[in-house]
């Protein structure tokens, strides 16, 4: 379907600089371009079955013919959605780290929870490794993921690839399993139930921003198929 549309704007077959520029912008609006050459194959991660990867219409999905696992999906408006959600996530991170998260009044004292504060409290109390782990899983990993997605997908919207985009994308796929903000949110809820009887708790702006951040991160990561991202990088000519 869109394969034919894309065939009409093959950038490699024309040399005129102006048309190429125009095509680049059109390329970004079109969905999932195919890199040069072919036929393109897809291998199932679970059973190693070899498939010929035909272009599919937006919003549809290809499953493995042998084991039924999802091979790839063509998300609609993928680049726009990734960029929008990851920019929002970056903004929300700023709010999460600057606004009060949860404050507690007990025994005439007030303590405030922040993400870096939680990591620092563990380190100060002698649990250096656990503290660093908490910082890594709740601050560093989400930052690498959403920052990386903005850095890679923003320029791709205009058909260009940012310098070092491939390296950044490699790092993102490495850090993705270690993003634990939704687990941290569950931890917050459990702790609130533990503390609820003992003190007065106030939810700050940071808490709501954190809940929104969780949704934005999940939406940003799910908005583009890994295969599509790499195909786009290849078509955009990333070195």
Partner 1 sequence: MNGICKNIPRAANQGLAGCHVCEKVSLISAVNCPRCGTHLHFRKPDSINRTIALMIAAAIMYIPANILPIMSIRELGVTTESTIVTGLIQFWEARSYPIAIVIFSASILIPLLKIFALIWLCAAAKGIVPHSAKILGKVYWITELLGRWSMVDIFVVAILVTMVQLGNYMVVTPGPGALAFAGVVILTMFAAMSFDPKLLWDQLEREAAEAESEKNTERE
Q: By CB under 8 A, name the binding residues for partner 1.
A: 40-43, 45-50, 65-69, 72, 102, 104, 106-107, 109, 111, 113-114, 117-119, 121-122, 125-127, 129-131, 133-134, 137-138, 166, 169-170, 173, 177-178, 180, 183-184, 186-188, 190-191, 193-195, 198, 226-227, 230, 234
8 Å CB contact between 137 and 178: yes
Could you say which of Zn ion, partner 1, none residue 184 binds, taking C-beta under 5 to 8 angstroms by partner kind? partner 1
Q: Which one, 160 or 166, has the nearer CB to Zn ion?
A: 166
| SS3 state of residue 106 | strand
Q: Which stretch binds Zn ion (CB under 5 A): 16-24, 43-51, 141-149, 163-171?
A: 43-51
* Minimal distance, residue 178 CB to partner 1, in Å: 8
Q: Which one, 42 or 77, has the nearer CB to partner 1?
A: 42
Around 9, how many Cα atoms within 13 Å sit in the side-chain half-sphere?
Answer: 22
Q: Candidates 43, 47, 130, 198: give the one binding Zn ion (CB under 5 A).
A: 47
What x/- string results for residues 55 through 94 when contact with Zn ion is judged by CB under 5 A? ---------x-xx-x-------------------------
Can you tell me the distance from the alpha carbon of 124 to that of 135, in angstroms, rounded to the nearest whole number? 13
> Cα angle at 29 between 26 and 32, to 5 degrees?
105
CA-only gyration radius of the chain, Å: 22
| SS3 state of residue 126 | coil
8 Å CB contact between 220 and 144: no
Q: Return the axis-axis angle of helices 115-124 and 78-98, rounded to nearest 10°.
A: 50
* Minimal distance, residue 17 CB to partner 1, in Å: 26
């Amino acid at each position: 379907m869109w394969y034919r549309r894309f065939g009409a704007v093959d950038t490699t077959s024309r040399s005129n600089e102006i048309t190429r520029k125009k095509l680049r912008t059109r390329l970004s609006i079109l969905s999932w371009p195919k890199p040069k050459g072919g036929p393109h194959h897809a291998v199932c991660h679970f059973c190693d079955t070899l498939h010929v990867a035909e272009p599919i219409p937006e919003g549809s999905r290809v499953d493995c013919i042998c084991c039924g696992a999802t091979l790839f999906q063509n998300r609609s408006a993928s680049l726009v959605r990734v960029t929008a959600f990851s920019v929002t996530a970056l903004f929300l991170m700023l709010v999460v780290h600057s606004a009060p998260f949860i404050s507690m009044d007990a025994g005439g004292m007030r303590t405030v929870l922040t993400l870096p504060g939680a990591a620092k409290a563990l380190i100060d109390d002698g649990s250096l490794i656990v503290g660093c782990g908490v910082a890594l899983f709740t601050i560093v990993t989400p930052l690498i993921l959403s920052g990386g997605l903005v850095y890679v997908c923003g320029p791709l919207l205009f058909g260009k690839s940012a310098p070092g985009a491939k390296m950044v994308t490699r790092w993102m796929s490495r850090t993705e399993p270690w993003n634990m903000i939704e687990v941290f949110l569950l931890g917050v809820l459990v702790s609130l139930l533990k503390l609820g009887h003992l003190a007065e708790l106030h939810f700050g702006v940071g808490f709501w921003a954190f809940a929104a951040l969780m949704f934005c991160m999940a939406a940003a990561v799910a908005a583009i198929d890994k295969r599509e991202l790499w195909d786009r990088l290849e078509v955009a000519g990333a070195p």
